[in-house]
Amino acid sequence: MPPYSGLEPTCPKCGWIGASLQYREARGPIALPWNTAYVVDVARPERLARHCQSCGFHWDEAPLDAPSVLEAALPAEGGQAR
């Protein structure tokens, strides 16, 4: 996931400067209520959701305090993976 791009991000699709920003908490996978074996969306980490005000493209960015990919892969204290 790309890092936070600041207050005036550039859309990766159309190049427009400016996009809305919304904080999204981490969540588990989403399954159909009547068939929990059918997953319709994967688990997602904590993220900042961006929405281009020109073309409507959506993308996610990592919050400033998000652990790096390397940190998330390392075992936590006590030998357990995070």
Question: pLDDT at position 67, please?
Answer: 76
What range does the domain containing 33 cover? Answer: 1-82
Higher pLDDT pick, 21 / 81: 21
> For tokens 């809305």, what's the residue?
20
pLDDT number for residue 78: 57
Q: How many domains does the chain have?
A: 1
Nearest to 9 by CA among 49, 67, 45: 49
Predicted model pTM:
0.70
- pLDDT band (50, 70, 90) for residue 66: confident
Question: Taking 80 as the threshold, does the pLDDT of residue 77 lie above it?
Answer: no
Span 2-46, pLDDT tens digits: 999 999 999 999 999 999 999 999 999 999 999 889 989 899 999
